[in-house]
Structure 1
Amino acid sequence: MKCIYYLTSTLKSTQDVSDDLHEVGVEDFYLHVISKDECGLKKQHIHSSNYLETLDIVRDGFIGAAIGCVAGLIGISLLMYFKPLGADFEIPTLVYALLVGAATLFGAWEGGLTGIATENKKLARFHDDIAAGKYLILVYVGKNQEATVRKMMDERHSDADMVAIDSHCVNPFTGVDRVAQRAATRT
Protein backbone atom coordinates (compact mmCIF):
# COMPACT_ATOMS: atom_id res chain seq x y z
CA MET A 1 0.00 0.00 0.00
CA LYS A 2 1.22 3.49 -0.85
CA CYS A 3 0.22 6.92 0.35
CA ILE A 4 -0.01 9.56 -2.37
CA TYR A 5 0.12 13.18 -1.17
CA TYR A 6 -1.80 15.85 -3.08
CA LEU A 7 -1.84 19.54 -2.26
CA THR A 8 -4.84 21.70 -3.17
CA SER A 9 -5.42 25.37 -2.54
CA THR A 10 -9.18 25.61 -1.95
CA LEU A 11 -11.88 23.79 -0.05
CA LYS A 12 -13.93 23.49 -3.27
CA SER A 13 -11.14 21.74 -5.15
CA THR A 14 -10.56 19.48 -2.13
CA GLN A 15 -14.27 18.59 -2.14
CA ASP A 16 -14.11 17.83 -5.87
CA VAL A 17 -11.03 15.64 -5.41
CA SER A 18 -12.73 13.81 -2.54
CA ASP A 19 -15.87 13.19 -4.59
CA ASP A 20 -13.90 11.93 -7.59
CA LEU A 21 -11.76 9.66 -5.43
CA HIS A 22 -14.92 8.15 -3.96
CA GLU A 23 -16.20 7.68 -7.52
CA VAL A 24 -13.14 5.57 -8.45
CA GLY A 25 -13.50 3.42 -5.33
CA VAL A 26 -11.41 5.09 -2.62
CA GLU A 27 -13.26 4.79 0.68
CA ASP A 28 -13.14 7.40 3.47
CA PHE A 29 -10.93 5.11 5.55
CA TYR A 30 -8.19 5.50 2.89
CA LEU A 31 -8.65 9.23 2.29
CA HIS A 32 -7.57 11.86 4.81
CA VAL A 33 -7.22 15.62 4.50
CA ILE A 34 -4.97 17.74 6.68
CA SER A 35 -5.90 21.38 6.96
CA LYS A 36 -6.12 24.18 9.45
CA ASP A 37 -9.76 24.59 8.33
CA GLU A 38 -11.21 21.62 10.22
CA CYS A 39 -14.60 23.33 10.39
CA GLY A 40 -14.78 23.63 6.60
CA LEU A 41 -13.85 19.97 6.17
CA LYS A 42 -16.56 18.95 8.62
CA LYS A 43 -19.21 21.10 6.91
CA GLN A 44 -18.35 19.58 3.52
CA HIS A 45 -18.26 16.04 5.00
CA ILE A 46 -14.63 15.56 3.98
CA HIS A 47 -12.79 12.93 5.98
CA SER A 48 -10.07 14.72 7.95
CA SER A 49 -6.89 13.21 9.30
CA ASN A 50 -6.43 11.67 12.72
CA TYR A 51 -3.87 12.21 15.46
CA LEU A 52 -1.81 9.20 14.41
CA GLU A 53 -1.18 10.92 11.07
CA THR A 54 -0.62 14.48 12.25
CA LEU A 55 1.33 13.85 15.45
CA ASP A 56 4.43 11.78 16.15
CA ILE A 57 2.78 9.54 18.75
CA VAL A 58 3.77 6.26 17.10
CA ARG A 59 7.33 7.26 16.18
CA ASP A 60 8.14 8.75 19.58
CA GLY A 61 6.38 5.83 21.29
CA PHE A 62 8.69 3.36 19.51
CA ILE A 63 11.73 5.45 20.39
CA GLY A 64 10.61 5.62 24.04
CA ALA A 65 10.03 1.86 24.10
CA ALA A 66 13.54 1.24 22.75
CA ILE A 67 15.07 3.56 25.34
CA GLY A 68 12.98 1.91 28.08
CA CYS A 69 14.07 -1.55 26.97
CA VAL A 70 17.74 -0.55 27.01
CA ALA A 71 17.30 1.07 30.44
CA GLY A 72 15.60 -2.10 31.69
CA LEU A 73 18.42 -4.29 30.39
CA ILE A 74 21.00 -2.03 32.04
CA GLY A 75 18.97 -2.12 35.26
CA ILE A 76 18.79 -5.91 35.42
CA SER A 77 22.49 -6.13 34.53
CA LEU A 78 23.25 -3.94 37.53
CA LEU A 79 20.97 -6.08 39.72
CA MET A 80 22.75 -9.23 38.59
CA TYR A 81 26.18 -7.71 39.16
CA PHE A 82 25.64 -6.01 42.54
CA LYS A 83 23.16 -8.56 44.00
CA PRO A 84 21.56 -6.07 46.42
CA LEU A 85 19.56 -8.80 48.20
CA GLY A 86 22.62 -10.83 49.05
CA ALA A 87 24.88 -13.27 47.23
CA ASP A 88 22.78 -16.26 48.26
CA PHE A 89 19.46 -14.84 47.09
CA GLU A 90 18.66 -15.80 43.49
CA ILE A 91 16.16 -13.59 41.62
CA PRO A 92 13.97 -15.63 39.22
CA THR A 93 14.41 -14.98 35.48
CA LEU A 94 10.70 -14.11 35.24
CA VAL A 95 11.28 -11.12 37.54
CA TYR A 96 14.03 -9.84 35.24
CA ALA A 97 11.78 -10.24 32.22
CA LEU A 98 8.96 -8.39 34.01
CA LEU A 99 11.33 -5.55 34.94
CA VAL A 100 12.49 -5.15 31.33
CA GLY A 101 8.88 -5.32 30.14
CA ALA A 102 7.78 -2.67 32.65
CA ALA A 103 10.67 -0.38 31.64
CA THR A 104 9.80 -0.87 27.95
CA LEU A 105 6.12 -0.06 28.52
CA PHE A 106 7.00 2.97 30.62
CA GLY A 107 9.32 4.21 27.86
CA ALA A 108 6.59 3.70 25.25
CA TRP A 109 4.14 5.65 27.37
CA GLU A 110 6.58 8.51 27.92
CA GLY A 111 7.50 8.53 24.24
CA GLY A 112 3.83 8.66 23.27
CA LEU A 113 3.31 11.62 25.58
CA THR A 114 6.23 13.37 23.91
CA GLY A 115 4.78 12.53 20.49
CA ILE A 116 1.49 14.21 21.35
CA ALA A 117 3.33 17.53 21.43
CA THR A 118 5.29 16.91 18.22
CA GLU A 119 4.25 17.32 14.59
CA ASN A 120 4.61 14.20 12.45
CA LYS A 121 8.06 14.21 10.86
CA LYS A 122 6.64 13.03 7.54
CA LEU A 123 4.36 16.08 7.37
CA ALA A 124 6.84 18.68 8.61
CA ARG A 125 7.84 19.68 5.08
CA PHE A 126 4.21 20.57 4.34
CA HIS A 127 3.79 22.64 7.51
CA ASP A 128 4.12 26.02 5.76
CA ASP A 129 1.64 25.04 3.03
CA ILE A 130 -0.94 23.90 5.58
CA ALA A 131 -0.37 27.01 7.69
CA ALA A 132 -0.93 29.11 4.55
CA GLY A 133 -4.39 27.56 4.16
CA LYS A 134 -3.72 24.78 1.68
CA TYR A 135 -5.16 21.28 1.98
CA LEU A 136 -2.95 18.20 2.07
CA ILE A 137 -4.80 15.12 0.82
CA LEU A 138 -3.45 11.70 1.78
CA VAL A 139 -4.73 8.89 -0.42
CA TYR A 140 -3.84 5.34 0.63
CA VAL A 141 -3.94 3.05 -2.39
CA GLY A 142 -3.12 -0.56 -3.11
CA LYS A 143 -1.09 -1.67 -6.11
CA ASN A 144 -4.21 -2.41 -8.12
CA GLN A 145 -5.72 1.03 -7.43
CA GLU A 146 -2.70 3.33 -7.74
CA ALA A 147 -2.75 3.71 -11.54
CA THR A 148 -6.49 4.44 -11.55
CA VAL A 149 -6.19 7.13 -8.90
CA ARG A 150 -3.17 8.80 -10.49
CA LYS A 151 -4.78 8.78 -13.94
CA MET A 152 -8.03 10.27 -12.61
CA MET A 153 -6.14 12.96 -10.70
CA ASP A 154 -4.07 13.88 -13.78
CA GLU A 155 -7.14 14.07 -16.01
CA ARG A 156 -9.62 15.82 -13.71
CA HIS A 157 -7.55 17.75 -11.19
CA SER A 158 -4.58 19.46 -12.78
CA ASP A 159 -4.85 22.09 -10.01
CA ALA A 160 -3.98 19.45 -7.37
CA ASP A 161 -0.23 18.98 -7.09
CA MET A 162 1.06 15.50 -6.39
CA VAL A 163 3.80 16.46 -3.94
CA ALA A 164 5.01 13.10 -2.61
CA ILE A 165 4.59 9.35 -2.51
CA ASP A 166 5.21 7.38 0.66
CA SER A 167 5.65 3.63 0.62
CA HIS A 168 3.37 3.21 3.62
CA CYS A 169 2.41 4.94 6.82
CA VAL A 170 3.22 2.02 9.11
CA ASN A 171 6.98 2.61 9.40
CA PRO A 172 7.24 5.88 11.34
CA PHE A 173 11.02 6.07 10.98
CA THR A 174 11.10 6.58 7.24
CA GLY A 175 10.57 9.91 5.59
CA VAL A 176 8.44 10.49 2.55
CA ASP A 177 10.11 8.22 -0.03
CA ARG A 178 10.22 10.44 -3.01
CA VAL A 179 8.91 13.70 -4.27
CA ALA A 180 6.58 13.28 -7.18
CA GLN A 181 8.06 13.94 -10.60
CA ARG A 182 5.40 16.48 -11.51
CA ALA A 183 6.09 18.54 -8.39
CA ALA A 184 9.83 18.43 -9.01
CA THR A 185 9.51 19.69 -12.58
CA ARG A 186 7.33 22.65 -11.55
CA THR A 187 9.96 24.13 -9.23
Structure 2
Amino acid sequence: MKRLYYVTQDLDDAEMISGEVHRNGIDDHHFFVICRDEKGIKTHHLHGSDTLEKTNIIASGSRAYQVGGGLAIGIMALALLNHLFAVVPSLPIFLLIIIAAMATIIVKIAGSSFDSYLMERLNQHLDLGEAVIVIDVDRNQLHKVEAMLELHPKAKFIADCSNIGAAIPE
Protein backbone atom coordinates (compact mmCIF):
# COMPACT_ATOMS: atom_id res chain seq x y z
CA MET A 1 0.00 0.00 0.00
CA LYS A 2 0.97 3.57 -0.55
CA ARG A 3 0.20 6.56 1.69
CA LEU A 4 -0.70 9.80 -0.10
CA TYR A 5 -0.67 13.22 1.59
CA TYR A 6 -2.75 16.11 0.24
CA VAL A 7 -3.63 19.50 1.69
CA THR A 8 -6.68 21.64 1.16
CA GLN A 9 -7.57 25.03 2.55
CA ASP A 10 -11.08 24.25 3.64
CA LEU A 11 -12.91 21.39 5.27
CA ASP A 12 -15.79 21.61 2.80
CA ASP A 13 -13.42 20.40 0.08
CA ALA A 14 -12.04 17.73 2.43
CA GLU A 15 -15.63 16.54 3.03
CA MET A 16 -16.29 16.31 -0.74
CA ILE A 17 -13.03 14.40 -1.22
CA SER A 18 -13.96 12.11 1.67
CA GLY A 19 -17.27 11.25 0.02
CA GLU A 20 -15.63 10.52 -3.33
CA VAL A 21 -12.87 8.44 -1.77
CA HIS A 22 -15.41 6.40 0.19
CA ARG A 23 -17.53 5.85 -2.94
CA ASN A 24 -14.39 4.47 -4.60
CA GLY A 25 -14.01 1.75 -1.97
CA ILE A 26 -11.61 3.30 0.55
CA ASP A 27 -12.88 3.00 4.11
CA ASP A 28 -12.25 5.16 7.19
CA HIS A 29 -9.32 3.00 8.25
CA HIS A 30 -7.47 4.17 5.12
CA PHE A 31 -8.59 7.80 5.04
CA PHE A 32 -7.76 10.51 7.62
CA VAL A 33 -8.11 14.26 7.79
CA ILE A 34 -5.84 16.11 10.19
CA CYS A 35 -6.67 19.68 11.08
CA ARG A 36 -6.27 22.02 14.03
CA ASP A 37 -10.02 22.80 13.80
CA GLU A 38 -11.50 20.10 16.05
CA LYS A 39 -15.05 21.38 15.71
CA GLY A 40 -14.72 21.51 11.92
CA ILE A 41 -13.62 17.89 11.77
CA LYS A 42 -16.70 16.86 13.76
CA THR A 43 -19.22 19.07 11.95
CA HIS A 44 -17.99 17.86 8.55
CA HIS A 45 -18.17 14.21 9.76
CA LEU A 46 -14.56 13.53 8.85
CA HIS A 47 -12.45 10.70 10.18
CA GLY A 48 -9.31 12.12 11.69
CA SER A 49 -7.50 13.84 14.47
CA ASP A 50 -7.70 17.49 15.40
CA THR A 51 -4.01 17.78 16.18
CA LEU A 52 -0.90 16.14 14.87
CA GLU A 53 0.33 15.63 18.41
CA LYS A 54 -2.46 13.10 19.05
CA THR A 55 -1.37 10.86 16.21
CA ASN A 56 0.85 7.84 16.64
CA ILE A 57 4.36 8.52 15.34
CA ILE A 58 6.43 5.39 15.73
CA ALA A 59 7.43 4.90 12.12
CA SER A 60 11.22 5.08 12.26
CA GLY A 61 11.45 2.86 15.33
CA SER A 62 9.12 0.31 13.79
CA ARG A 63 11.11 0.16 10.55
CA ALA A 64 14.38 -0.10 12.45
CA TYR A 65 13.27 -3.02 14.57
CA GLN A 66 11.83 -4.82 11.53
CA VAL A 67 15.10 -4.48 9.60
CA GLY A 68 17.27 -5.38 12.61
CA GLY A 69 15.12 -8.40 13.43
CA GLY A 70 15.12 -9.53 9.80
CA LEU A 71 18.90 -9.31 9.62
CA ALA A 72 19.26 -11.17 12.90
CA ILE A 73 17.08 -14.02 11.63
CA GLY A 74 18.94 -14.08 8.31
CA ILE A 75 22.36 -14.22 9.94
CA MET A 76 21.25 -16.94 12.33
CA ALA A 77 19.91 -19.00 9.40
CA LEU A 78 23.18 -18.56 7.48
CA ALA A 79 25.19 -19.54 10.52
CA LEU A 80 23.14 -22.70 11.01
CA LEU A 81 23.22 -23.65 7.31
CA ASN A 82 26.99 -23.12 7.01
CA HIS A 83 27.75 -24.93 10.26
CA LEU A 84 29.57 -21.89 11.68
CA PHE A 85 28.57 -22.96 15.18
CA ALA A 86 30.75 -26.07 14.79
CA VAL A 87 33.84 -24.06 13.76
CA VAL A 88 33.63 -21.10 16.13
CA PRO A 89 30.67 -21.48 18.50
CA SER A 90 30.41 -17.84 19.53
CA LEU A 91 31.14 -16.20 16.13
CA PRO A 92 27.57 -16.25 14.76
CA ILE A 93 26.19 -14.81 17.96
CA PHE A 94 28.66 -11.91 17.93
CA LEU A 95 28.00 -11.31 14.22
CA LEU A 96 24.28 -11.44 14.89
CA ILE A 97 24.45 -8.89 17.67
CA ILE A 98 26.80 -6.47 15.89
CA ILE A 99 25.10 -6.48 12.48
CA ALA A 100 21.55 -6.36 13.86
CA ALA A 101 22.46 -3.50 16.23
CA MET A 102 24.21 -1.49 13.51
CA ALA A 103 21.35 -2.01 11.05
CA THR A 104 18.80 -1.01 13.67
CA ILE A 105 20.70 2.18 14.53
CA ILE A 106 21.25 3.18 10.88
CA VAL A 107 17.64 2.56 9.86
CA LYS A 108 16.33 4.35 12.95
CA ILE A 109 18.46 7.45 12.25
CA ALA A 110 17.51 7.54 8.55
CA GLY A 111 13.85 6.89 9.31
CA SER A 112 13.59 9.51 12.02
CA SER A 113 15.15 12.02 9.64
CA PHE A 114 12.37 11.39 7.09
CA ASP A 115 9.71 11.43 9.79
CA SER A 116 11.00 14.74 11.14
CA TYR A 117 11.00 16.25 7.64
CA LEU A 118 7.46 15.04 6.95
CA MET A 119 6.16 16.19 10.34
CA GLU A 120 7.71 19.62 9.81
CA ARG A 121 5.99 19.96 6.42
CA LEU A 122 2.65 18.81 7.82
CA ASN A 123 2.91 21.20 10.76
CA GLN A 124 3.61 24.09 8.37
CA HIS A 125 0.37 23.38 6.52
CA LEU A 126 -1.60 22.88 9.74
CA ASP A 127 -0.26 26.15 11.15
CA LEU A 128 -1.63 27.91 8.05
CA GLY A 129 -5.09 26.54 8.89
CA GLU A 130 -5.08 23.93 6.15
CA ALA A 131 -6.36 20.38 6.43
CA VAL A 132 -4.04 17.46 5.66
CA ILE A 133 -5.70 14.53 3.91
CA VAL A 134 -4.00 11.15 4.33
CA ILE A 135 -5.12 8.30 2.07
CA ASP A 136 -3.80 4.74 2.05
CA VAL A 137 -4.31 3.09 -1.34
CA ASP A 138 -3.54 -0.25 -2.92
CA ARG A 139 -1.46 -0.14 -6.07
CA ASN A 140 -4.54 -0.93 -8.17
CA GLN A 141 -6.39 2.07 -6.64
CA LEU A 142 -3.47 4.50 -6.84
CA HIS A 143 -4.04 5.96 -10.31
CA LYS A 144 -7.80 6.20 -9.82
CA VAL A 145 -7.41 8.13 -6.56
CA GLU A 146 -4.70 10.40 -7.98
CA ALA A 147 -6.86 11.16 -11.04
CA MET A 148 -9.86 11.87 -8.80
CA LEU A 149 -7.87 14.30 -6.65
CA GLU A 150 -6.51 16.10 -9.71
CA LEU A 151 -10.11 17.18 -10.34
CA HIS A 152 -10.09 19.06 -7.02
CA PRO A 153 -8.27 22.35 -7.65
CA LYS A 154 -8.14 23.13 -3.92
CA ALA A 155 -6.42 19.84 -3.06
CA LYS A 156 -2.65 19.92 -3.46
CA PHE A 157 -0.40 16.85 -3.39
CA ILE A 158 2.47 17.25 -0.91
CA ALA A 159 4.03 13.80 -0.32
CA ASP A 160 3.75 10.05 -0.58
CA CYS A 161 5.46 7.07 0.97
CA SER A 162 4.89 3.45 1.80
CA ASN A 163 2.33 3.05 4.54
CA ILE A 164 4.36 0.27 6.19
CA GLY A 165 5.56 1.93 9.34
CA ALA A 166 4.71 5.33 7.85
CA ALA A 167 4.30 8.37 10.00
CA ILE A 168 0.75 9.15 11.13
CA PRO A 169 -1.89 8.03 11.85
CA GLU A 170 -2.60 4.64 13.30
Counterpart in the other structure of 1:56: 57
Supply the distance in 2 between the matched residues of 1:164 and 1:53 (Cα, whole angstroms). Answer: 20
Task: Give the gaps of 5 or more residues in structure 1.
Answer: 65-119, 174-187
Which of 163, 167, 170 lines up with 1:169 in the alignment? Answer: 163
- Structure 2 vs 1, CA of residues 52 and 146 (structure 1 numbering), >3 Å: closer, same or farther? farther
Which amino acid letter does the alignment assign opposite residue 169 of structure 1? N
8 Å CA contact 1:38, 1:48 repeated in 2: no
2:20, 2:166 → 1: CA distance? 29
**Matches of 1:39 and 1:10, distance apart in 2:** 13
| CA–CA distance in structure 1, aligned partners of residues 131 and 29 of structure 2 | 18
Residues of 2 paired with 1:145 and 1:63: CA distance? 28
Deviation at 1:54, TM superposition (A): 3.3
TM-score (norm 2): 0.60
Contact 1:54/1:123 (CA < 8 Å) preserved in 2? no
Structure-1 residue corresponding to 2:146: 150
| Partner SS state of residue 42, structure 1 | helix
Q: Is the 8 A contact 1:3 1:169 kept in 2?
A: yes
Q: Number of residues paired by the alignment?
A: 125
Paired residue type of 2:150: D
Shift of 1:42: 1.5
- Matches for 1:21-36 after TM superposition, within 5 Å: 21-36=21-36
Aligned-partner Cα distance in 2 for 1:52–1:133:
15
1:141 & 1:63 partners in 2: Cα distance? 23
Cα distance between partner residues in 1 of 2:140 and 2:63 = 31
| AA partner of residue 152 (structure 1) | M
Displacement of 1:172: 5.0
Identity among equivalent pairs (%): 28
Look up the match of 1:43. Answer: 43
Aligned partner of residue 48 in structure 2, secondary structure: coil
The residue that corresponds to 1:160 in the other structure is 155
**Counterpart for residue 185 of structure 1:** none
- Larger mean CA deviation between 146-155 and 131-140 belongs to 146-155
Structure scoring higher RCO (CA < 8 A, sep ≥ 6) equals: 2
Tell which structure's C-alpha radius of gyration is larger: 1
Distance 1:165 1:127 in 2: 16
Task: In structure 1, give the amino acid aligned to 2:55.
Answer: T
Q: TM-score, normalised by structure 1?
A: 0.55
- Give unpaired runs (5+ residues) of structure 2: 66-114
